[in-house]
Amino acid sequence: MTTAPQPDLESLTAALEQQGVRGVTIGWVDNNGTVRSRTVPIAALPTAARKGVGISSTFAVFDSHDAVTFAFEGIATPSGDVRLVPVIESAADVTPLAGQRGQAWVNGRQVAADGEAWPYCQRAVLERQVAAAAEAGFEVRAGFEIEMVVVRDDLVADPAGDDWRPAHRGPVYSPNALRDVDEFVHQLLGDLAAHGISIGQLHAEYGGAQVEIALDALDPLAMADTQVLARQTIHAAARAHGLRVSFAPITTADGAGNGWHLHTSLVREGRNALTGTGSDTDEHGLSTTGRGYLAGLLRELPGLVAVTAPTTGSLMRRRPGFWAGAYGFWGVENREAALRLVPSSPLLGTEHTNVELKACDASANPYLALAVVIAAGLAGVRDGAGATLPDPVQDDVGGWEDAAREAAGISPLATTHAQQRAHLLASDLVRDVLGEELLGAFVAVRDSDAAWAAEHTPEETVASLRWRY
């Protein structure tokens, strides 16, 4: 197994013990966006870092209801074991958890039993795309906006049902809403800072009892790792105040749902490569590279969203008027567009340009979501796709007649499993990024989810996923 140099593990372990750490949780994210983990006693951390800990290969084919599907021939039996190895390249990679006494967190990668690469490791997929970007001369910057619904946990009579009460009463985007959860917000801000997680803002969102935080941009691997740690931090802070948080794509059948909007940009030689200068600037401030990047995302959008918003909950959330990216088009600061260009401005500066993907949520594996987005954008740059980038649309196209959307070349994104499955399998780019083995497992899991939903009402499906995230 080839790994980056590690710090002195014995010294790191001793330092953690001095801080009161008794156990270290190694986390990874499966194909449903569910965070899974193993916890080792602090004394076992050096051994775990060198040899990993055992986990079943069947985690690649767990569905959103914790059922194991053997529909994919690559993992068709319960036999097989892989190693979960904590990613410790510096002491900072192991984070003592401010909200969980005596516990620390580290993100993990999955490797084969002999230590070699395992084709189902989602982290490795992103590592390959970061390397591809570097080979093309780019760094990538990425950030997530995290939406969540906050409820009173002591009032949840039926965790799987609808008998739960919001923790704040609104109004939306109001300081009065946050006042209802003031103690939670106070602890959360402190815990995030203690964990080295930098955010741009926190506010009450549009949905019922909804709160959002925006993670500051980082390199893709750091951002995926930070997103996972942020979940753990938020859940622990909520629990400390008798609250419960759901990041699920949809928490009520008719509600707004939660997005985890994904922002990305390219950097070349220390400057934002999406922003134009001089003659290399269009009317939206995009460079030739920026137009190609955006065009690549738009071209691959149907296949991308099958990875970035993949579950039955994602499909139920994908409705016009909910800022969920229901139609395949782009716009400049248009929040109804699946791809929203956030341009530079005299106030914000030229480095601010980025592209937001609306159709992304917590049921996506963040490593896979970032990997396919990077690959699509880079393919657009490489192919010169910007030359065919259509004009932006600034309207809410959900209010247009079907004929008007058709004339503009705007199609709805998938709202059924069959549609999304077809788009996923039709994308050569997604197939290439994930690889045949991981794609096969991913499709099998989606099929298993769809089979469960087919035997239950929409309300039952929503309830079954509400507390998964």
Which pLDDT tens digit goes with each residue over 252-303? Answer: 988 889 999 999 999 999 999 999 888 888 989 999 999 999 999 999 999 9
- Checking if the pLDDT of 227 tops 80, the result is yes
Q: Are 352 and 345 in contact (CB under 8 A)?
A: yes
Could you tell me if 65 and 199 lie in one domain?
A: no
One domain for residues 227 and 287: yes
Distance CA 266, CA 45 (A): 36
Q: Above pLDDT 70, what percent of the chain?
A: 97
Tens-digit pLDDT profile for residues 443-466: 999 999 999 999 999 999 999 999
pLDDT-based confidence at residue 163 (cuts at 50, 70, 90): low
Is 126 part of any domain? Answer: no
Q: Are residues 308 and 240 in the same domain?
A: yes
Whether residue 145 sits in one domain with residue 83: no
Is 165 found in the same domain as 80? no
Residue 340 CB contacts under 8 Å (≥ 6 apart), including other chains: 330, 331, 332, 333, 334, 355, 356, 358
CATH number at residue 93: 3.10.20.70
Residue 3 lies in a domain: no
Statement to judge: residues 318 and 415 lie in one domain: yes
pLDDT (0 to 100) of residue 160: 52
Nearest to 327 by CA among 257, 254, 397, 430: 397
Contact 290, 389 (CB under 8 A): no
Residues 201 and 233 grouped into a single domain:
yes
Count of domains forming the chain: 2
Average pLDDT across the chain, whole number: 93
Residue 305 shares a structural domain with residue 406: yes
Q: Which domain holds residue 446?
A: 131-465
Q: Name the phi and psi angles at 85, rounded to 5.
A: -110, 125
What DSSP state is assigned to residue 289?
Answer: H
Is 121 part of any domain?
Answer: no
Contact (CB, 8 A) for 152 and 238: no
461 with 346, same domain?
Answer: yes
Residue 7 has pLDDT above 90, yes or no: no
**CATH number for position 317:** 3.30.590.10
The answer to the question of residue 125 being in a domain is: no
Q: Could you give the residue ranges of the DSSP H alpha helices within 309-427? A: 312-317, 366-383, 402-407, 417-426
Cα 27 from Cα 228, distance rounded (Å): 8
Q: Is 192 inside any structural domain?
A: yes
Q: Is the pLDDT of residue 164 over 90?
A: no
